[in-house]
């Protein structure tokens, strides 16, 4: 049974935050499967708050990154898996209010539920304390993850990286062709070739869609280009 001041002790202990309106945080930590106000509306708000504040942090941390680079970096931080990891680190699952069905099925460990609850918490903090409370808290929670991000160019997909490599050397763009499609309609495998005439190179890739097969072929082409030729001993 919840104590009268739930979840204030948890908020102070894990987030270092002293709430003013406990009702906001009770809702933020209540899944729609449980009785009472739930976190769906706060999740909607928190998603926007989180995207804005993370965008601000990345804008400052990567002054030379392009808009596309910043978007890819942000996706590494605010998608379901990383948000669920932050929620796990904070122990959100232990204080979530879930319906009996979700409790039995382990909902307190489910990525989607944890990520949604974390977004809802961000929304609650923004409503409770404003930008001045939300911004430093988000910056502190995500600082290690931002510091560990790879260089922006490493996040580009293989086809984009291959195209930029060739364009920077005034070489013609790669040619992709579907060589073979096998399997049933619902479970097909595509085999695709990638040819760079200017370098005299050709690679093949496979995937469950044409796009994935092309990405695989481009990745193999980049590996071929970046592998230094064997030198005679």
Instruction: Give the pLDDT confidence score for residue 233 in this predicted structure.
Output: 41
Alpha-carbon span 226 to 3, nearest angstrom: 61
Task: Report pLDDT for 210.
Answer: 94
* Peptide bond connecting 62 to the previous residue in cis, omega within 30 degrees of 0: no
Beta bridge partner(s), residue 182: 189
43 included as an active-site residue: no
* Packing angle, helices 131-147 and 111-129, rounded to 10: 140
Q: Which residues contact 122 (CB under 8 A, 6 or more apart)?
A: 46, 49, 50, 134, 138
Tokens representing 50 are 């989180």
Q: State the catalytic residue, choosing from 47, 69, 116, 214.
A: 47
What is the structure's pLDDT at 211?
A: 93
Note whether 206 and 191 are within 8 A (CB): yes
pLDDT of residue 230: 59
CA distance 125 to 141: 14
In the chain, which residues fall in CATH 1.10.1520.10? 8-150
| Pick from 75, 76, 89, 73: nearest CA to 121 | 89
Task: Tell me the pTM.
Answer: 0.73
Q: What is the pLDDT of residue 1?
A: 54
Query: Pairing state of beta strands 189-196 and 201-207?
Result: antiparallel
Parts of the chain belonging to CATH 3.30.160.20: 156-226
State both tokens at 150.
């790879």
Half-sphere exposure of 156 (CA within 13 A, CB side): 18
Instruction: Give the end-to-end CA distance of the chain in Å, rounded to a whole number.
Output: 75
Specify the 3-state DSSP secondary structure of 134: helix
Rounded distance, CA 25 to CA 188, Å? Answer: 47
Span 156-226 CATH architecture: 2-Layer Sandwich (3.30)
Q: Which CATH superfamily is domain 8-150 in?
A: Ribonuclease III domain (1.10.1520.10)
Determine contact, residues 197/205, Cβ cutoff 8 Å.
no
Candidate list 43, 102, 119, 195, residue with the active-site label:
119
153 is catalytic: no
Q: Are 31 and 113 in contact (CB under 8 A)?
A: yes
pLDDT tens-digit profile, the chain (233 residues)? 567 899 999 999 999 999 999 999 999 999 999 999 999 999 999 999 999 999 999 999 999 998 989 998 999 999 999 999 999 999 999 999 999 999 888 888 999 999 999 999 999 999 999 999 999 999 999 999 999 998 887 788 999 889 989 999 999 999 999 999 998 887 899 999 999 998 999 999 999 999 999 999 999 999 999 876 654 44
């Amino acid at each position: 049974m919840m104590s009268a001041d739930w979840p204030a002790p948890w908020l102070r202990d894990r987030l270092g935050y002293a709430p003013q309106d406990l009702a906001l945080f009770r809702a933020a930590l209540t899944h729609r499967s449980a009785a009472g106000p739930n976190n769906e509306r706060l999740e909607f708000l928190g998603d926007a708050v989180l995207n804005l504040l993370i965008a601000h942090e990345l804008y400052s941390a990567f002054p030379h990154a392009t808009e596309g680079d910043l978007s890819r970096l942000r996706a590494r931080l605010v998608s379901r898996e990383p948000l669920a990891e932050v929620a796990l680190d904070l122990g959100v699952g232990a204080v979530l209010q879930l319906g009996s069905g979700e409790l039995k099925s382990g909902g307190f460990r489910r990525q989607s539920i944890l990520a949604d609850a974390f977004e809802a918490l961000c929304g609650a903090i923004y409503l409770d304390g404003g930008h001045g409370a939300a911004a430093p808290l988000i910056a502190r929670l995500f600082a290690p993850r931002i510091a560990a991000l790879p260089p922006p160019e490493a996040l580009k997909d293989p086809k984009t990286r291959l195209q930029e490599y060739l364009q920077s050397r005034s070489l013609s763009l790669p040619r992709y062709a579907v060589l073979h499609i096998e399997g049933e309609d619902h479970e097909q495998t595509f085999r695709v070739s990638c040819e760079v005439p200017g370098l005299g190179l050709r690679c093949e890739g496979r995937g469950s869609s044409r796009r994935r097969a092309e990405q695989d072929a481009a990745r193999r082409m980049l590996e071929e280009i970046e592998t230094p030729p064997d030198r005679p001993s």
